[in-house]
Amino acid sequence: MRPPDPITLSAVAEALAAPVCGDGSVPLRRLVHPAEATEPTDLVMVLDPRLAGAIGGSPIRAAVLASGIVPPAGALAGWIVVPRPRLALSVLLELFARPPHAPPGVHPTAAVDPAARLGDGVSIGPFAYVGPNAEVGAGSRIMAHVSIGADARIGTDCLLYPGVRVGERVVVGDRVILHHNVSLGADGFSFVSAEPAGYEIARGDTVDTPMRDIRRIGSIGTVVIGDDVEIGANSAVDRANIGATVIGRGTKIDNQVQVGHNARIGEDCLISGQAGISGSVRIGNRVVIAGQAGIADHVTIGDDAVVGGSSGVGRDVPAGRIVMGTPAVSRSLWRTRLLAVGRAGRLLRELAALRRRTNVEK
């Protein structure tokens, strides 16, 4: 494979909006870990002061350094110092990205309905399917084995990795990234029994009435994904019963996340892996939901709230509140309860020791 064209350290500094120390004309071809640098055209990013010493024995001539890290004297021709390393890393990874192979045009094995509309520069990969009246916006890349249902719309400059399933009438905004095997628009998990089910009417600890004749509640709604959303591998966003399940602009969803029917998630949210969001949940803007958290149906979570990992949220969370635990409570109360459990265990141990000393039977 032909190596990428080099860019200069000055061009990297411009992208980072940071000044160059030393020679900005150093040519660079790839971004690598400091321990893996083998060529003078390699660029490394050093976040840990303990790795700074390794620069001296490396062939590299340029580096990006976190604030406070000083390169060994004479080791580099040029370097850039950044105050917010993770933000700089995001810029660098985009600058040195190696995009998937997706040449423009329709692969011979793809099935594109004659009534589908494809924008300029669209790539349709092997064994992909685009249904009747579906639309794929300009510059979007549809990888192998992706299916796009009838009347669905994919915006411009999107990237759909292999195995993605976009159901009929689903709407996907611009610059959306859907990773492997994402499902948009499966029916929601909605069922009802002919008579009230035992779990619905139980008042004690047991179910007295068996559940029979389960009937599905169909989903005739859709899914709407906003611009600049990214959804991780094997995640699912279910179709609304009526109306739309909505993911707001700029929200990022991790792998193996479930979003139930009729849920509405706001803008710029971060939802970590294996979180479960039940039907008809309302999530505000800029909300953070940590891994394996579960949100019960019809719960509302306000703007800027944070839900801790493995938390079980069964009631509304006010805007800006941090909650943790199951059932989820404010972080301060959760810490108090955790300390209380620790103290209780210590008291029990002290009591057992006292009994042994006084020969008092348990």
Name all contacts of 2-9 with Cβ < 8 Å and 24+ positions apart: 3/29, 4/29, 4/30, 4/96, 4/98, 5/29, 6/41, 7/95, 9/43, 9/62, 9/78, 9/80
Q: Is 298 an annotated catalytic residue?
A: no
Catalytic residue, from 101, 180, 261, 298: name it: 261
- What is the C-alpha to C-alpha distance for residues 115 and 152, in angstroms, rounded to an integer? 12
CA atoms within a 13 Å half-sphere pointing along the CA-CB vector of 132: 0
- What is the C-alpha to C-alpha distance for residues 19 and 4, in angstroms, rounded to an integer? 24
- What is the C-alpha to C-alpha distance for residues 190 and 175, in angstroms, rounded to an integer? 31
* The residue to which tokens 């120390």 are assigned: 21
Contact 252, 271 (CB under 8 A): yes
* The residue to which tokens 């509140």 are assigned: 321
Buried b (16+ CB within 10 A) or exposed e, 157-191: bbbbbbbbbbbbbbbbbbbbbbbbbbbbbebbebe
Strands 20-22 and 191-193: unpaired
Distance between first and last Cα of the chain? 75
Contact 145, 124 (CB under 8 A): no
Residue closest to 175 by CA, chosen among 199, 202, 140, 206: 140
* Residues assigned a catalytic role: 261
